[in-house]
């Protein structure tokens, strides 16, 4: 395989994504804010701290059970801001449209974005539109950027703050989004329709931080799924994260779909879940706060943080064995966000 070209795997959130970011982008763009590799950059303005994020969305198909590219673009930006512990203030949206796209589709997406932004209490205040020739894009791509405000005196959660003794909390079931998109794209039918978990989580995070203000890490496990997110946090913090397979919530229809397709749900993207690593003394309060939110009713403690071996993620299986949980180099489910 030619190592001198970009592959789909470079955008999958796994090993090749990390190689691309660390080996190329950080080499050219590296700076203190970017080098932390958080979901949002933390910027200082006088005595206040701001979170800033940007993300592009190329999901195929544009519409899927539980969401569409427009809702995804809004919720994705808001969740990245929430993962920095910030309150979202405003978004921008840039569209790349392919010649021949029908106005009805564009209007459906715009309506969805308006509704998702209104539901989250933010406005889309700036944007841009470009149209490219037929065959130069796949109907529609959207890039959203967002800005949020951190509470005064709050230390932002960071990928580098996980510490031995911390507790790992997941806000709900995994793999719903990726499997919903996959089933829709491939025309696969199951006994019940799998729904994407696409949703904004800033209010859930606000409640979490009120109950547990010393949260060390927050991440929404999107591309690469829970496995990729845990590995990134373990590597950035220089710790070992051990999780319990039996403690990870998975909807039964999603579990069955993954088994039929030979896909590990730990590697499948989510768009409405938050991973929190919190100090032991705040774990109970944090879990209760997440569970009080409608989107966190199935929240669970799924593991803990240990000092060694640094940079590793271990999975305690249902039968009690321990194995290394790694991330695939390839792309299991391309274009799911």
Place of tokens 């001198």: 4
Confidence of residue 1 (pLDDT cuts 50, 70, 90): low
pLDDT on residue 4:
87
Crossing angle for the helix pair 69-82 and 103-120, to the nearest 10 degrees? 30
Fill in the DSSP letter of residue 201. Answer: -
Q: How far apart are CA 51 and CA 148, in angstroms?
A: 5
**Residue 75, H or E segment:** helix 69-82
pLDDT on residue 240:
98
Of the candidates 268, 223, 213, 217, the one whose C-alpha atom is nearest the C-alpha of residue 238 is 217
Place of tokens 């841009």: 128
pLDDT on residue 331:
67
Fill in the DSSP letter of residue 191. Answer: S
Q: How far apart are CA 84 and CA 100, in angstroms?
A: 39
Fill in the DSSP letter of residue 150. Answer: P
> Token pair of 15, please?
């090993």
Phi–psi pair at 335, nearest 5 degrees: 55, 55
pLDDT on residue 330:
66
Give how far Cα 3 sits from Cα of 7, 19, 31, 333, Å.
Answer: 9, 12, 27, 21
Crossing angle for the helix pair 252-261 and 176-186, to the nearest 10 degrees? 60
The answer to whether residue 132 scores a pLDDT higher than 60 is: yes
Phi–psi pair at 195, nearest 5 degrees: -105, 140
Condensed to tens digits (0 to 9), the pLDDT of residues 152-192 reads: 888 899 999 999 999 999 999 999 999 999 999 988 888 78
320 with 312: CB under 8 angstroms?
no
Cα end-to-end span (Å), the chain: 26
pLDDT on residue 150:
95
Q: How far apart are CA 325 and CA 327, in angstroms?
A: 7
Q: How far apart are CA 201 and CA 273, in angstroms?
A: 8
269 with 177: CB under 8 angstroms?
yes
What 3-state DSSP class applies to 124?
A: strand
Domains of the chain: 40-149 (3.30.1330.10), 167-324 (3.90.650.10)
Condensed to tens digits (0 to 9), the pLDDT of residues 10-36 reads: 887 778 888 999 999 999 999 999 999
């Amino acid at each position: 395989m030619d190592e001198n070209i970009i592959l789909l795997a470079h955008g999958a959130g796994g090993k090749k994504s990390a190689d691309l970011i660390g080996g190329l982008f950080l080499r050219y763009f590296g700076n203190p804010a970017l080098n932390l590799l958080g979901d949002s950059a933390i910027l200082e303005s006088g005595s206040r701290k701001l979170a800033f994020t940007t993300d592009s969305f190329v999901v195929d198909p544009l519409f899927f059970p539980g969401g569409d590219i427009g809702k995804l673009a809004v919720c994705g930006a808001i969740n990245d801001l929430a993962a920095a512990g910030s309150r979202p203030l405003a978004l921008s949206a840039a569209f790349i449209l392919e010649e021949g796209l029908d106005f009805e589709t564009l209007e459906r997406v715009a309506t969805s974005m308006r509704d998702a932004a209104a539901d989250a209490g933010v406005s889309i205040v700036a944007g841009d539109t470009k149209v490219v020739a037929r065959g130069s894009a796949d109907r529609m791509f959207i890039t959203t950027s967002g800005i949020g405000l951190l509470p005064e005196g709050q230390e932002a959660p960071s990928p580098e703050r996980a510490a031995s003794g911390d507790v790992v909390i997941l806000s709900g079931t995994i793999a719903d989004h990726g499997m919903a998109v996959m089933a829709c794209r491939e025309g696969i039918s199951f006994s019940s329709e799998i729904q994407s978990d696409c949703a904004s989580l800033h209010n859930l995070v606000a409640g979490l931080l009120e109950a547990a203000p010393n949260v060390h890490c927050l991440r929404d496990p999107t591309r690469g799924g829970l496995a990729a997110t845990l590995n990134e946090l373990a590597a950035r913090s220089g710790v070992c994260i051990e999780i319990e397979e039996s403690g990870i919530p998975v909807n039964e229809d999603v579990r069955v779909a993954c088994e039929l397709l030979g896909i590990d749900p730990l590697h499948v993207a989510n768009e409405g879940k938050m991973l929190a690593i919190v100090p032991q003394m705040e774990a109970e309060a944090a879990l209760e706060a997440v569970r009080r939110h409608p989107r966190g009713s199935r929240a669970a403690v799924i593991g803990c943080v240990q000092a060694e071996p640094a940079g590793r993620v271990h999975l305690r299986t249902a039968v009690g064995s321990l194995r290394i949980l790694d991330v695939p180099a390839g792309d299991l489910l391309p274009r799911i966000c």
